[in-house]
């Protein structure tokens, strides 16, 4: 369903205060807490894009308290209640048992009130306070030990009126090691640390994609598209930030199109069917109406389930950024059919 760009942007400004925060430094007093009060669902996420093969990417996606939003929900994991159900994905292109699994909050999790410790049994731990964190993951076939330093460069994806839903992402620097089947990988570069909190409301989300590209050693680009009922776009934006620049958000001239899809829909553990993109293109203009970024992408056939109610993977891309040629490996999340 088509909707004019000015109308879309006007609606976005009405329901969300995120645009007004664009380009401002991260406020360390920003809420980062586990579930409490009316915020019954919380998400902590760490994404490490553009890794060497065979890893391609790494992410740790946690959801504590099952959300009411059907697109993000994994009701099949619930043994006691929504609030007592958490899930964890250790996503990467290599495969191993237990990459996605559920937990009971009261039985399995340790949650410090200030979020200085977020621990999922013996599997995963995020520890520390802004700006320095450690990340550990333990699986018989996959180990990770990473140190993450968060900058003050933040992208606010959503800040809905009335505190219904907040979601933001910090540009981070990281270093550490990953081991898979005895092979050790020394890693470093740009990553993200993300947080979201939500009240128990079912927002009508029909499609979601989120993508991350590290343009170079200093610059990171984020793309997000969210669609509601009948394919109406709720958000279409590209965020640019770097180690020394708070950057901004770009929406004019935005386009995203999936050009090829998997031939067979995937049936998710949550009981939904979705067809994932295998080739796609996206672009946006800068503040002067000139092309900012253009991406042509081909998926690496490494999608893994557990990005809440959808999939995460990587792709090979070519394109341009601010007039210069770029190429590399991007990170992609998809929920729903495009």
Q: For residue 6, is pLDDT > 90? A: no
**Cα separation, 103 vs 224, whole angstroms:** 28
Sequence ranges of the domains in the chain: 5-335
The residues facing 310 across adjacent strands are 307
Q: For residue 8, is pLDDT > 60? A: no
For the chain, helix (H) and strand (E) counts, in that order, are: 2, 23
Our CA angle for 166, 234, 313, nearest 5°, is 75
Question: Contact, 160 vs 15, CB < 8 A?
Answer: yes
Q: For residue 15, is pLDDT > 60? A: no
Q: How confident is the model at residue 163 (pLDDT cuts 50, 70, 90)?
A: confident
Q: Is residue 230 classed exposed, middle or buried when 0-12, 13-18 and 19+ CB atoms within 10 A define those classes?
A: exposed
Mean pLDDT of 270-274: 96
Mean pLDDT of 175-183: 96
Question: Contact, 111 vs 36, CB < 8 A?
Answer: no
Residue 197 DSSP label: E
For all residues of the chain together, what is the average pLDDT?
A: 94
**Cα separation, 244 vs 156, whole angstroms:** 18
pLDDT of residue 16: 45
User: Which fold would CATH assign to domain 5-335?
Assistant: AttH-like fold (2.40.370)
Q: For residue 198, is pLDDT > 90? A: yes
Mean pLDDT of 137-155: 98
Q: For residue 160, is pLDDT > 70? A: yes
Question: Contact, 312 vs 331, CB < 8 A?
Answer: yes
Q: What is the CA radius of gyration of the chain?
A: 19
Q: For residue 122, is pLDDT > 50? A: yes
Q: How confident is the model at residue 162 (pLDDT cuts 50, 70, 90)?
A: confident
Share of the chain above pLDDT 70, in %: 93
pLDDT of residue 108: 98
More confident site: 85 or 4: 85
């Amino acid at each position: 369903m088509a909707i004019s760009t000015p109308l879309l942007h006007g609606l976005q400004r009405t329901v969300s205060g995120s645009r007004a925060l664009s380009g401002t430094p991260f406020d360390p007093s920003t809420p980062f807490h586990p579930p409490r009060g009316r915020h019954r669902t919380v998400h902590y996420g760490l994404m490490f894009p553009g890794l060497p093969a065979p890893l391609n990417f790494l992410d740790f996606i946690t959801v504590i308290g099952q959300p009411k939003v059907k697109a993000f929900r994994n009701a099949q994991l619930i043994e006691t209640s929504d609030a007592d159900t958490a899930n964890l994905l250790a996503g990467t292109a290599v495969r191993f048992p237990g990459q996605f699994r559920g937990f009971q909050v009261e039985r399995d999790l340790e949650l410090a009130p200030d979020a200085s410790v977020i621990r999922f049994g013996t599997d995963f731990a995020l520890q520390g306070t802004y700006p320095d964190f450690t990340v550990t993951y333990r699986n018989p076939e996959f180990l990770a030990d990473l140190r993450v330093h968060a900058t003050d460069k933040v992208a606010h994806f959503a800040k809905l009126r009335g505190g219904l839903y907040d979601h933001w992402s910090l540009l981070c620097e990281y270093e550490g090691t990953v081991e898979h089947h005895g092979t050790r990988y020394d890693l470093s570069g740009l990553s993200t640390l993300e947080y979201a909190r939500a009240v128990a409301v079912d927002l009508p989300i029909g499609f979601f994609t989120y993508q991350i590209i590290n343009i170079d050693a200093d610059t990171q680009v984020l793309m997000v598209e969210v669609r509601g009922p009948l394919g109406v776009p709720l958000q279409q934006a590209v965020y640019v930030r770097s180690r020394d620049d708070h950057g901004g958000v770009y929406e004019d001239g935005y386009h995203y199109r999936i050009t090829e899809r998997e031939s067979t829909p995937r049936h998710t553990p949550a009981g939904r069917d979705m067809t994932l993109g295998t080739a796609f293109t996206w672009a946006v203009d800068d503040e002067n109406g000139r092309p900012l970024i253009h991406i042509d992408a081909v998926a690496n056939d490494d999608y893994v389930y557990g990005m809440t109610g959808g999939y995460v993977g990587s792709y090979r891309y070519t394109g341009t950024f601010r007039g210069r040629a770029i190429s590399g490996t991007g990170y992609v999340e998809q929920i729903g059919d495009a």
